[in-house]
Amino acid sequence: MRLFQEELAVLNVGLGSFADEIIQAGGKAAQITWAPPAGGDPAAGKALARLVNDKDIEAANQKAFAAYLGADPTLVGIALAREAIVGMNERRILHSGPPIAWAQMCGPMQGAVIGAVIFEGWAKDHAAAKQLAASGDIAFAPCHHHGAVGPMAGIISPSMPVWVVRDPATGRQTFSNLNEGLGKVLRFGANGPEVIERLKWMATTLYRVLQLALAETDGIQIKPLIAQALNMGDEVHNRNAAASMMLLRRLVQQMLASRATREEVTSAVAFIAGNDHFFLNISMAACKLMLDAARNIPGSSMVTAMARNGVMFGIQVSGTGDRWFSSPAPVVNGLYFPGYSIADAAPDLGDSAITETAGLGGFAMAAAPAIVNFVGGTPADAIANTRAMGHITLGKNGGLLLPTMNFAGTPAGIDIRKVVDTGILPVINTGIAHREAGIGQIGAGITRAPLECFSQAVTALASLLPER
Amino acid sequence: MRLFQEELAVLNVGLGSFADEIIQAGGKAAQITWAPPAGGDPAAGKALARLVNDKDIEAANQKAFAAYLGADPTLVGIALAREAIVGMNERRILHSGPPIAWAQMCGPMQGAVIGAVIFEGWAKDHAAAKQLAASGDIAFAPCHHHGAVGPMAGIISPSMPVWVVRDPATGRQTFSNLNEGLGKVLRFGANGPEVIERLKWMATTLYRVLQLALAETDGIQIKPLIAQALNMGDEVHNRNAAASMMLLRRLVQQMLASRATREEVTSAVAFIAGNDHFFLNISMAACKLMLDAARNIPGSSMVTAMARNGVMFGIQVSGTGDRWFSSPAPVVNGLYFPGYSIADAAPDLGDSAITETAGLGGFAMAAAPAIVNFVGGTPADAIANTRAMGHITLGKNGGLLLPTMNFAGTPAGIDIRKVVDTGILPVINTGIAHREAGIGQIGAGITRAPLECFSQAVTALASLLPER
């Protein structure tokens, strides 16, 4: 009965209203934020219980994280998709996110497919392109199934040039298309004549100049370049201003040393100089390469991809190989361009969340306080986001330091167990496309990966464990 | 007598030991940091008393600060010093800081003068150059007396090319020499054959290419460029990585559009791309232009220049015109390159503190957390420095925002009254030269302007006030 005679020291876990009443009655209570794992889903919770404190999983994760850290993504060249990517020497179009059929695709992805069909010369106008796309005569597949990544709609067709990023030690390669700039561009679903014309120029002049320039190098290491960009306010997902300039500074010298004509160099430099996002697609291919190194390690609960097709948000996990765990893609409550609102937005779209999966983008927001002007929030929110991601990741990337975090490494290696246990969802900086084909970007913002993908993955990984 | 019966609530002002004893005896005391104004100098303290809460001074400062804010420094060209700067079509050499005679100059400044004499062809070797410099046949003057600024030794001789920065509204112009890069360079006192050769190349090929490139523009506005650089981790004094790249990105397009040959463009681009400090000298000329706009406003206590010649640290104040208030330059306790220490250092040197005078450099360190790797300290120190400078300045520059300070403007317009009153000394990020001629840079660090300059200025400004 001494309990009633002493002053109570209360730690309240979970629902805050219990603590509130004690405080209102003149007592003291410290509130601990807590919610049941897996949002209260008993099956996922039980699966999670099997995965925590498992020595084999810890060992597998150490191996996966070390493989991620060890990759050395190096930009070695540029090639046409049909030459560089297996399976692209036929009538195939790659798209972002998990697999999806033409009929289910969101507006901007259909718009981008139509543009690609016209760009390829497979159809003469929009109506014919749409008919062809719906006919089944074009094979569709996720970029990720072909070692590639693409921002937003992520469309890669056979005649598009792609960056080739390679890990010298393993020979592993990844690919990405080239960034078209902002405004009316294919990846946001625009497909008018100016979009097709730009794609054609990119596939000829720009392709030729970049190919000649890259031939003058022994490859460009991407990780040191990203590390410098983090010192210069980029998070290399929605802010690539410094990285794009550093790349241009390097490439322009190789262009001048190459056989490219002065006119070709001039037009290529003007295009790259006018696009602060030019580096994004290289950043994405580099991130995919780092994460592909961590794929297919039995037992590992580390996420190797997060990607969205504008309908579904999907993740892949090292220990479950190439299987997708998907859930409806959220609509982004971000900063909209004048005249547009969330009602106009397509759901979350693009492979670019591969940057967050690798510890960049939203995970490295602390490096990029100025990005809040583009995606919303305050610099303090940016730092808080990075800090929160430390709770759901396997470690820090000591090669990618964040100055405002006192040069701590960026949090990396998302652990599905920690996401499901804490309910802290991976934060993603993203662009927002109009939900209809042919319009383009209407905003940018910060979104979260859906818990459901991670709960599914936890259940699937637990089912692979040997019975004990 | 109730004092002895109640619990004491002590605010202790000044010497902390009084508070310490109360706390040791079990009492409570809050410590307020305070020191007598002017470091206890009664004359300066009395002068300060005449200057505070003076409506005419407040009005003059508002005028000065508005003039500083209103200037629009625009890079309009590049010219040879003898053509652009009044008084430079004779045997004259400009140097950094307040006036100083050859015999009194520090080692690196003498070294740089010797190099300039050889570069000009006025003497064939070091011995002859030294003899000529000592003979009185060369006129020496501060850069500041000729509308110019130069980092470190700040040597400008007639055949050197100089940036021309202009305020379109007033036609006011300022000048700065071109940045040679790091290592063995004239501004740090090196003067070997490779230094002279580089200066000659800069005065011919680089000069020609930049002149042709700038002729293709209507001028390049510098303030928006600095504003962007502050979003990208520069403070545009000791960190100019982003600003230099932005300038290169702009200039390379003009170079390609100009009559410069491909070989000329290639060599100019390689030089600029290899020098992350290339923008510094333009930043300095722009800062001088903003501050020159605030000069000679009767009664204003705003600092218009801080500059060091390696022997003396001098300041100029709006209300006292072109008069220098000087005090021995401190030696910088910074980060030294391997093999060097503070014993090897020349005292603080260069006109580059014009950036701090304009609210950049050390005043904008919060924008550049990564700079602490170069000048020492932690990112938290960088933010604390910027915050402290808010106590000694007239206002914030709303055109130059600091992302990590939640987009507050950088503190600008140093008020000599506030410096003398608070004892908070202006913080300066700086390079460190070897004290002997011919060696070069040996480190970088953070230093403070000496209080004595500000006490002198307060006394002088008070003496100009009408008797009341």
State the CATH number of the domain containing residue A114.
3.90.1710.10
Nearest in space to B444 (alpha carbons), one of B182, B180, B178: B182
Q: Are residues A349 and A207 in the same domain?
A: no
ipTM of the complex: 0.92
Domain boundary among B236, B256, B285: B285
Q: Pick the residue from chain A with its C-alpha nearest to B245.
A: A245
Q: Are residues A136 and A54 in the same domain?
A: no
| Model confidence band, residue A9 (pLDDT cutoffs 50, 70, 90) | confident
Question: Has residue B149 got a pLDDT over 70?
Answer: yes
CA-nearest residue to B369 within chain A is A403
- Structure letter (DSSP) for residue A425: P
Decide if B351 is inside a domain.
Answer: yes
Question: pLDDT-derived band of residue A468, with 50, 70 and 90 as boundaries?
Answer: low
Q: Does residue A468 form part of some domain?
A: no
Instruction: Answer yes or no: is A63 within a domain.
Output: yes
Which residues of chain B lie closer than 8 angstroms to A269, CB-CB? 252-253, 256
Beta partners for residue A230, in sequence order: none
Structure confidence by residue, pLDDT tens digits, A107-122:
999 999 999 999 999 9
Contact A379 B262 (CB under 8 A): no
Considering only residues B279 and A441, tell me which one the structure prediction assigns the higher pLDDT. B279
A336 and A201 share a domain? no
Same domain flag for B354 and B408: yes
B245 and B349 share one domain: no
Chain B positions touching A380 (Cβ under 8 A) are 406
Percent of chain A with pLDDT over 90: 87
Tell me, yes or no, if B370 comes closer than 8 A to chain A by beta carbon.
yes
- B191 shares a domain with B159: yes
**Contact between B245 and A241 using a beta-carbon 8 Å cutoff:** no
Which single residue is written with the structure tokens 């400062």?
B61
The residue whose two tokens read 């080739």 is A164
Instruction: Pull the structure tokens for residue A247.
Output: 């790349």
Report how far residue B35's alpha carbon sits from residue A65's, in angstroms, rounded to the nearest whole number.
54
Instruction: Specify whether B263 is located in the same domain as B329.
Output: no
Strand, helix or coil for residue A418: helix
**Comparing B4 with A380, which gets the higher pLDDT?**
A380
State yes or no: pLDDT of B180 exceeds 90: yes
Task: Give the model's pLDDT for residue B93.
Answer: 98
Q: Span A226-255, mean pLDDT?
A: 97
pLDDT digits (tens, 9 = 90+) for A295-352: 999 999 999 999 999 999 999 999 999 999 999 999 998 899 999 999 999 999 999 9
Q: Is A257 on the interface with B (CB under 8 A)?
A: yes
Averaged pLDDT for residues A269-276? 98
Which residues, numbered 387 to 426 in chain A, qualify as contacts with chain B under a Cβ-Cβ cut-off of 8 Å?
403-404, 406-407
pLDDT per position as a tens digit, B397-440 = 999 999 999 999 999 999 999 999 999 999 999 999 999 988 88
The reply to whether A79 touches chain B by the CB within 8 Å rule is: no
Mean pLDDT computed over A408-429: 97
Give residue A336's pLDDT: 93
A169-219 pLDDT, tens digit per residue, is 999 999 999 999 988 999 999 999 999 999 999 999 999 999 999 999 999
Residue A245 resides in a domain:
yes
Choosing from A242, A270, A285, the residue where a domain stops is: A285
**Which residues constitute the domain of residue A23?**
2-34
Q: Give the gap in angstroms from C-alpha B378 to the nearest C-alpha of chain A.
A: 7
* B257 in A contact zone (CB under 8 Å): yes
pLDDT digits (tens, 9 = 90+) for B325-359: 999 999 998 899 999 999 999 999 999 999 999 99
Q: Do B245 and A245 touch (CB under 8 A)?
A: yes
Domain assignment present for B133: yes
B101 pLDDT above the threshold of 90: yes
Residue B35: what pLDDT?
A: 83
Coil/strand/helix, residue A137: coil
pLDDT at B177 exceeding the cut of 80:
yes
Pair (B270, B302) in one structural domain:
no
Q: A244 to chain B nearest CA, in Å? A: 10
Asked if residue B468 belongs to a domain, the reply is: no
Q: Are residues A30 and A142 in the same domain?
A: no
Range A47-56 contact pairs with CB under 8 angstroms and sequence separation of 24 or more:
A47/A458, A47/A459, A47/A461, A47/A462, A47/A463, A48/A417, A48/A420, A48/A421, A48/A458, A48/A462, A50/A462, A50/A465, A51/A301, A51/A417, A51/A458, A51/A461, A51/A462, A51/A465, A52/A417, A52/A421, A54/A299, A54/A465, A56/A299
Stretch A116-130: mean pLDDT: 97
| Span B238-264, pLDDT tens digits | 999 999 999 999 999 999 999 999 999
Q: Please check whether residue A399 is in contact with residue A290, taking contact to mean a CB–CB distance below 8 angstroms.
A: no
- Domain presence at residue A434: yes
- Under the banding of pLDDT at 50, 70 and 90, the label for residue B39 is confident
- Whether residue B353 sits in one domain with residue B258: no
Q: What is the mean pLDDT of residues B102-106?
A: 97
Q: Any chain B CB within 8 A of the CB of A263?
A: no
> Considering its fold, how many domains does chain B have in total?
3
- For residue B468, pLDDT over 70 is answered with no
Q: Is residue B222 part of a domain?
A: yes
Report the residue from B269, B270, B379 with minimal CB separation from A404: B379
CATH of the domain at B341: 3.90.1700.10
By the CB < 8 Å criterion, does B376 face chain A? no
Q: With a cut of 90, say whether residue B167 has pLDDT above it.
A: yes
With H, G, I as helix, E, B as strand and everything else as coil, classify residue A314. strand
| B266 interface with A at CB cutoff 8 Å | yes
